[in-house]
Amino acid sequence: MMRIPPAALVGLFFTSVFFFCAIFAPFIAPYGMAEVVGDVWEPSSSEFLLGTDSIGRDLLSRMIWGGRTTIFIATAATVLSFVTGATLGFFAAVSGGWVDQVLSRFIDLVMSIPSLIFALVVLSVMPTTILTLILLMGLLDSTRVFRLARAVAVDITVMDYVEAARLRGEKIGWIIFRETLPNALSPLVAEVGLRFIFMVLFVSTLSFLGLGVQPPQADWGGIVKENKEGINYGIQAALYPAYAIATLCISINLVADWILGRTTSLKGGRG
């Protein structure tokens, strides 16, 4: 811990706080997710630390429950995108030939459509549930992971130890998970943080536009949408979730930068 840079410590602290609150939200939140406990947009007080929202719900409780929803969706979508994108990217690079060409051209086709527009079109005709959001966001973002994983794997598959594995008769699964993946972890670890940040911003954007998490469920983008009119009257309710999104994204980025530097230095030391 003494060797962790101060910036990474700050990032770890805030990231830990956010995830702790998300995991233990039922025990930390003073009130229920949709419980009306006061008047509209009450100011901060000993009873309501952040005040109330546009219909009288405790804003601190909404923030805690909203963080739980936002972080859960972002985490699940990030895992899905990496499992799908990295596996297909490694498979394309190791297989080569027409398999690589078909997968790469299909990914190029999907990436040619802006992700936000694609998501808005799909969500406008499908029921907006948390499972739908996770699947849609994860699969859309897996295209970016595919491109990175394939680019890294292409350089690895020409190495002597991969050729030796092919000559030993190892199957494609062994080459992907035992030869390629361990040597591609450094860029993928850094990309995990960036993709998670993108997921947080993506789900918040969808909720702000009304096609993300649906009321009475809470998420940070939805809280901004519900309280945006208060800004005209000098009410801060819509700014608290914006601060939370910014803080979480910066914290994750600081941690990802430190992990990337650490894994890169360890890899160099082993070499």
What's residue 154's pLDDT?
84
State the maximum Cα–Cα separation within the chain, in Å, rounded to a whole number. Answer: 73
- Residue 52: phi and psi, rounded to 5, are -120, 170
Q: Which helix (H) or strand (E) holds 271?
A: none
What's residue 270's pLDDT?
38
Mean pLDDT score across all residues of the chain: 87
Rg (CA), the chain: 22
Single-letter amino acid, residue 155 = D
CATH numbers and ranges of domains, the chain: 6-270 (1.10.3720.10)
Least confident stretch, 60-74, 142-156, 178-192: 178-192
- Percentage of residues in the chain with pLDDT exceeding 90? 42
- The number of beta carbons lying within 10 Å of the beta carbon of residue 6 is 8
Contact 139, 81 (CB under 8 A): yes
23-32 long-range CB contacts below 8 Å, 24 or more apart? 23/68, 25/64, 25/65, 25/67, 25/68, 28/64, 29/60, 29/61, 29/64, 29/65, 30/58, 30/60, 30/61, 31/57, 31/58, 31/61, 32/61
Contact 231, 238 (CB under 8 A): yes
Least confident stretch, 104-113, 136-145, 160-169, 184-193: 160-169
Q: Is 41 left (phi over 0), alpha (psi -120 to 50) or beta?
A: left
- If pLDDT is split at 50, 70 and 90, which confidence band does 81 have? very high
* Six-digit token string for 14: 């805030």
- The number of beta carbons lying within 10 Å of the beta carbon of residue 224 is 22
Query: Per-residue pLDDT for 209 more than 50?
Result: yes
The 10s digit of each residue's pLDDT in 52-78 is 888 889 999 999 999 999 999 999 999
pTM of the model: 0.88
What's residue 264's pLDDT?
60
Q: Which helix (H) or strand (E) holds 71?
A: helix 59-95
Contact 38, 48 (CB under 8 A): yes
Nearest to 222 by CA among 232, 235, 209, 233: 209
Q: Span 170-176, mean pLDDT?
A: 77
What's residue 161's pLDDT?
75
Q: Span 96-106, mean pLDDT?
A: 88
Query: Per-residue pLDDT for 220 more than 90?
Result: yes
d(CA 258, CA 264): 10
- Percentage of residues in the chain with pLDDT exceeding 70? 96
Query: Per-residue pLDDT for 155 more than 50?
Result: yes
What's residue 1's pLDDT?
52
